[in-house]
Chains A and B, each alone.
Chain A
């Protein structure tokens, strides 16, 4: 199969998978959530009316029981209509419109949530959270893998040495320690005991302020360090194991016998062989980093994608749930596609055609 044909076929497959996932999400979400949402609307409307009538100058309808009931019913029906719940989930108006909208990248409007900028457009809400997640989580992923690869290779050069044993220990330990727990300890120690870093990860000045970038970097140092330091150990351990394994290969022995310098063997032969699995993990980690981390974001008060997803699920804000699912699925499928292409580049045995 030629590269071009492979790209087209693969792309079509992935797009079909994307829409299948969306359909399944809507199908699972629809029947289960419609009733729940309607009940929720009923409860919230009654509580809202009670709160409204519980004020000092309540609306006049609060003085008439019949008008109170009338208001409740009117507001409830209006909300149900606004949420699109007056049509069944499988109706063309809802399901068809949703699939079509998503295909044209119109993610719709949220039911309840708003961006900090005041928008209820799902795209705006996601695009507000996504850069913040990239800034913290993707950056820390990149730093972790750079440090990890470098240290992993160094450790692999002297198996059983001090660095190697240290990396092995760190790798196991960091994989078991929860980031949010370490984060809390880091905040207590660095923010309140030593008072080196602020606990809040975002500065109080606006982006238009010239001091914003240094302030932002200062504020995000603590969460960035925490996530990176807990992440690099696993990378180093992975790379160390891969490199040690490849160093045992016959062709490496031959290269050594031929007098190829150690640097040349490592970077010219070993890393190239180790690339496919490493690339797989790198790409999947990078795409996974875009999901953020709910508890980590809560601990560091970082308004990212993880917290957005959790809030949307808790509040049954279906458009945001669908929108995020769409974004994550698209990113994941794109990652798979990239891996497929890179694999062919690094390992000629798997090249298409």
Chain B
């Protein structure tokens, strides 16, 4: 034993350096490995947004804000910057300029017949303007390239653009003053006008167009100038009326169109939403019923009328169709008829530049909201690790009250609020699809997350008798009983985690939301739970709700009278999650019912009360006082009787009171950030990362939206000449998100010189990945006659709806004869058919015969003469 120990000791003493060295190396290596593993593990486990804190700072002036971003005093500015400044910023490596879809410009024309001749009462003259206006000039010179020509109501960033693109393109609308003049000449002459000295005259007077141009917008002023130029070249006399919006209210919107105070007006539109299925925009822009066409819905005014457009657009708005195909057909008809009518002529869609400092990564370019989207708040970062604080500039910081019933109406407060709550569904920023996160952390459609059963559009399902609905009479939730029907049933699983104040969410929060919608949505004027603004908007929805049933496994079934051809929309309408804890809603309701404040601006103005804004200390104190009273009296709201115990309620009240005491506001939600506070003097709002361990969304969950994976046509191989009647092929290479992809939808059109589509179809994906072929069979090319044709390609990615458009031309030649092939008959020339003529060969034969006869006769004569001598 001693010998063994001695031997071991000897080994150790002799080799101790090696042992120590090896040990150190081992520790060094494994520490790195373990540290990485720990970091990876920590990253994988990390939840919430990257940033610790965001300070939203009010910067009214965009140029100063852009300079602040450049200097690093701001990390981003959530408003578009002037185009000239954007060009400068692009030269600076410290600044990243993001280009987001923006609004659009249009001209609205007065189409009413007036006492003095109105050229725009002629549909043909109106339509001709589409060819008279150089949209490309407006884009390149006035918008400095930040935009695109737009002919119909849907622009290139709108999901429904793809539905109408083909047919709109087939109209061949482009700048063609010669064609425009031809159309105008015909129409004006038909109307009885005469062109004298290059100017249109009617009844001895010049045909004058009163053009109201918005002079408060320098770019629209320039557009007005460009359009005026075109009109004057076409022979019209233009009387420019310059003014701002207030003057436009008076002259354009405030006068009867038949008074002819205006004939044309430069309109500008902002971008309000990004929806896969837009329901009202075509009605808003083309249909008289909406009240946005000349006459403006005023009964006493002479108005533009179009029953077909009214009918078609109403069907789109009200969902009066049974499939997507039917809907697509409707909006195509509306768009095409709207263009032909040209009472509203669209000019351009704008691209709005946003700036961020190069250190601020992870911004998401939402096709609806641009950079100022919830995804940017959650995904924005200074490094790949969690941490750091940023300052984001805002054009406005406080524009309206903060309450989640009928407040948070302006886009600025909505933007910040979106970072404070955790919706169960969101909109894909690049496709408009409704999405959600599944349990494994994957992004799925909401129809995949929730189970939808529907009997729509015409049928109904039975609502279980034990499903609950709020009964206003007994002021309690009651089983609906037998015999109740609904169109659809949506089953979803509720995901409970903690509110910002640390209290876990529960079904009580959802129930309170259902109660509120039913109670306040169905109230009548004079009742304590009536709000003029909220009730009128909530009432139709409250009537559609048929019942709710909570099953034991955290699942909830919602029964509603709603149908949509897209099951995602049905699924989305069945959500019952809450964005604020029930005790806050109950306390706010108590404040309003006791007439200390109102939920809506209309309610506040009508009752001469403050508009409840829980971000402001005074109003938060009102809510706190209500909570205190509810706690002192042990009040449980009627809607939650039997659902929460007294102890649970008091725990909630205590948590909310503590929150208001500490933070000075009553904004409590469950999102990635919580509100630190609003400082009116500094004009800042600060939010901090939600570090609650129950918060569900993993760090970096929305990273895939950082780069919009749009399709890009990289290479097109089209033959310069195609022989008619012979097969031909075109090969195209398409990337999605910078990588070759077989997922793009690539459609094509062949357009003849007259602008008519001769062939169309879809290219097939082939190998290698990213390659697509269009094969034209002989039957296809036989349809082409000799001449020049255009090939137009539209490539769309399933992950980002903005299409890439490419066009090129090629020649079509007549069929070429191969050697040995039967000689085809020569086509008859006009000359051949008009005067019977000999063929070439016959002529040659006759000529040879004649020559032989002449030569023979000559020889015979010569020989005869020689004999005589």
Contacts and interface: CB of A to CB of B under 8 A. Distances in A.
A206 B398 contact: no
Interface in A138-175: none
B540 A53 contact: no
A298 B58 CA distance: 12
Given A116-B680, A200-B68, 13 more contacts: A39-B249, A40-B245, A53-B279, A53-B280, A58-B279, A62-B279, A63-B319, A75-B536, A118-B680, A191-B67, A204-B55, A206-B682, A298-B61
Interface string A48-64: 01111111111111111
B317 interface: yes
Contacts of A43: 249, 253, 296
Contacts of B606: 78, 81-82
A182 to B, nearest CB: 15
Contacts of B618: 118
Contacts of B58: 301
Given A39-B249, A55-B273, A316-B246, A206 B681 contact: yes
A43 B253 CA distance: 8
Interface residues of B, number: 76
Contacts of B40: none
B716 interface: no
A5 interface: no
A1 to B, nearest CB: 46
B400 interface: yes
A347 B605 CA distance: 53
B318 A51 contact: no
A90 to B, nearest CB: 19
A40 B252 CA distance: 11
B254 A39 contact: yes
Given A36-B249, A39-B250, A82 B605 contact: yes
Given A35-B250, A55-B273, A65-B289, A46 B284 contact: yes
Contacts of B292: 46, 50
A78 B73 CA distance: 44
B317 A68 contact: yes
Given A56-B434, A68-B317, A50 B272 contact: yes
A71 B572 CA distance: 24
Interface string A67-107: 11101101100110110000000000000000000000000
B318 A63 contact: yes
Interface in A192-251: 192, 195, 198-200, 202-207
Interface in B790-816: none
19 contacts: A40-B246, A51-B272, A62-B279, A68-B280, A78-B606, A82-B605, A114-B399, A118-B401, A118-B613, A118-B616, A118-B619, A118-B680, A120-B611, A187-B67, A200-B64, A202-B683, A204-B679, A204-B682, A204-B684
Given A69-B289, A82-B606, A301 B60 contact: yes
A340 interface: no
Interface of A: 35-40, 42-43, 46, 49-65, 67-69, 71-72, 74-75, 78-79, 81-82, 109, 114-120, 128, 187-188, 191-192, 195, 198-200, 202-207, 298-299, 301, 303, 307, 314, 316
Interface in B78-95: none
Contacts of A301: 58-61, 64
Q: Which 9 A-B pairs have the closest CB atoms?
A: A60-B540, A116-B680, A60-B541, A54-B273, A82-B605, A51-B272, A118-B616, A39-B249, A39-B254
Interface string B594-608: 000000001011101
Contacts of B319: 63
Nearest to B68: A199
B850 to A, nearest CB: 87
B591 to A, nearest CB: 15
B682 A67 contact: no
B314 interface: yes
Contacts of A64: 318, 540
Contacts of A71: 536-537
B416 interface: no
Interface in B513-547: 532-533, 536-541, 543-544
